[in-house]
Chains A and B, each alone.
Chain A
């Protein structure tokens, strides 16, 4: 893959430039990518735990005699 590029428009001059990212910008991008991946994994873990708790709770409600419609309406 070629070097990532950044398209910038300077609002004061109206000039748009497209250039390769600098080493500093690439380092920033790598740190940014890592932070996104970390948060994505954390979000997915929370969502999975929540879904599992809901499924467990729904199963217990069903054992108590609630219908699927009643469970969904909560």
Chain B
């Protein structure tokens, strides 16, 4: 199959109470998946977010051996932006959800390589994102790269994003899911 970069679907928050965004029945006809997001939290629900992290899970799995990952980057003026998790029940992206009072949504992308593989190892998940203001009370910047393995012995058929503690994702926030074929 020729190399392609094809939009599969778009999922959009609506209705004012969305805490999960999910793709199901992902086609198994590509080499890689690429999710491109523009996301922020809702301004009224809640009025103050506890955490702005985004949490990704595939195939509904919360098994800790599935998502070992590390991140590196910059939280300007605040704590260190360097960490690793040998095991994790989710693939976490720091500051993936912009605060409600930010002028812009957080923008970033996530790539899952060889997502149709049924081997327990070999799939790879990589993310990068930036947010020019992520804290609800101060001007700040966050620039992150996040890298992980995806150790699940199943092809990826669903992809779910969760916000923390029922924090609501602002309406019109969206994730675009693309399929990529590497072969020429």
Contact = CB atoms under 8 A, between A and B. Distances in A.
Interface of A: 1-14, 16, 18, 21, 25, 29, 31-33, 35-37, 39-40, 43, 47
24 contacts: A1-B17, A5-B18, A6-B18, A7-B12, A7-B14, A7-B18, A8-B24, A9-B10, A10-B24, A11-B24, A11-B25, A12-B24, A16-B9, A18-B18, A29-B162, A29-B166, A31-B62, A32-B62, A32-B90, A33-B164, A35-B62, A35-B89, A36-B90, A36-B164
Interface of B: 8-27, 45-46, 51, 53, 55, 62, 79-80, 83, 88-90, 162, 164-166, 168, 177
A9 B24 contact: yes
A2 B51 CA distance: 20
B173 to A, nearest CB: 10
Contact of A47 (B24, B27, B53, B79): B79
Given A32-B55, A36-B51, A5 B27 contact: no
Closest 6 CB pairs of A and B: A12-B25, A6-B20, A4-B19, A9-B11, A5-B17, A8-B22
Contacts of B79: 47
Contacts of B12: 7, 16
Contacts, number: 93
Nearest to B22: A8
Nearest to B13: A7
A10 B90 CA distance: 22
Contacts of A14: 9
A55 to B, nearest CB: 14
A25 B25 CA distance: 19
A66 B22 CA distance: 54
B19 A1 contact: no
Contacts of A35: 62, 89
A6 B21 CA distance: 6
Given A11-B25, A47-B80, A3 B165 contact: no
Contacts of B27: 11-12
Nearest to A44: B79
A54 to B, nearest CB: 10
